[in-house]
């Protein structure tokens, strides 16, 4: 941006704010976001938007969704960092730098957001953290043994199946592959959780049998076979197919699991 650019913080009326053509196009998912946030609106989370004063008008550079949220909850104004002296082209360039894939604002990683949730004592984050620590796992973005970076999948399991299935999943991952880094890939974590949710109540399912059988199969082999599978669309469903195959291999007919997941994917 220009070196002689002036800026100031101002509380601006919502109705005075305009959007120019470089802003992202509004989509149904954006409307859904506004509706969701308006139901639990907290003005402390609005922060400060970024605005350009050009030709006597205020154009939003960063903060379109927050402006729309304020309109939805009938809030009259919002705090803004206002720049004066930008051209429309410079505004668009600034917008791109803020929001692009290589933007100058470093986005928080999912694991960092999770860790903030733990400190904030959010129920889901705390219970996930405690369960991971119970089995010696660390929730962190690095791809190393015992490190879980796929926090989005872990949260999905928690929401879909509940804490007990998540506990069972971490327990089985530990017993089977002992924290080997590829065993903590998103596809395997979700596949193991799905397998447990389907077969846990089956009289012929035994987690010890699972651990003994699957520990002989490297996680990378599970992933490779799952990716080569064309019988299902969802990756986790393909993983379940592979887990099912190796679980039943070598078992007598009367001790094998009956396929209950054939409709997945």
pLDDT in tens, the chain (265 residues): 555 789 999 999 999 999 988 887 788 888 999 999 999 999 988 999 999 999 999 999 999 999 999 999 999 999 999 999 999 888 888 887 777 655 555 566 888 888 888 887 889 999 999 999 999 999 998 889 999 999 999 999 999 999 999 999 999 999 999 999 999 999 999 999 999 999 999 999 999 999 999 999 999 999 999 999 888 788 889 999 999 999 999 999 888 999 988 755 4
On whether the CB atoms of residues 67 and 61 are closer than 8 A, the answer is no
What is the DSSP track for 62-123? E-HHHHHHHHHTT--EEEEEEEES--HHHHHHHHHHHHSTT-SSPPPPHHHHHHHHHHTT-H
Instruction: Provide the token pair at 54.
Output: 């050009």
Report how far residue 125's alpha carbon sits from residue 127's, in angstroms, rounded to the nearest whole number. Answer: 6
Report how far residue 19's alpha carbon sits from residue 150's, in angstroms, rounded to the nearest whole number. Answer: 36
Residue closest to 245 by CA, chosen among 227, 259, 264, 255: 259
Cα angle for residues 110, 115, 119 (degrees, 5° grid): 145
């Amino acid at each position: 941006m220009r070196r002689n650019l002036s800026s100031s913080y101002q509380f601006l009326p919502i109705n005075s704010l305009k959007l120019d053509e470089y802003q992202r196009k509004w989509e149904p998912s954006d409307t859904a976001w506004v509706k969701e946030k308006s139901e639990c609106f907290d003005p402390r989370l609005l922060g400060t938007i970024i605005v350009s004063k050009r030709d006597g008008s205020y154009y939003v550079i960063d903060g379109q969704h927050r402006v729309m949220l304020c309109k939805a909850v009938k809030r009259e104004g919002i705090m803004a960092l206002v720049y004066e002296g930008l051209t429309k082209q410079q505004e668009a360039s600034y917008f791109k730098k803020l929001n692009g894939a290589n933007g100058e604002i470093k986005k928080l990683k999912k694991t960092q957001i999770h860790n903030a949730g733990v400190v904030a004592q959010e129920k889901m984050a705390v219970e996930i953290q405690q369960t991971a620590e119970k089995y010696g796992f660390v929730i962190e973005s690095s791809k190393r043994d015992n490190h879980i970076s796929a926090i989005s999948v872990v949260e999905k399991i928690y929401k879909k199946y509940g804490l007990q299935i998540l506990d069972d999943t971490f327990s089985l991952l530990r017993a089977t592959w002992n924290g080997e880094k590829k065993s903590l890939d998103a596809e395997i974590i979700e596949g193991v959780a799905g397998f447990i949710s389907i077969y846990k109540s089956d009289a012929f399912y035994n987690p010890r049998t699972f651990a003994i059988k699957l520990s002989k199969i490297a996680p990378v082999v599970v992933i490779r076979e799952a990716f080569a599978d064309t019988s299902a669309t969802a990756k986790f469903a393909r993983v379940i197919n592979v887990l099912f195959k190796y679980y039943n291999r070598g078992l007598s007919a009367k001790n094998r699991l009956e396929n209950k997941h054939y409709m997945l994917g």
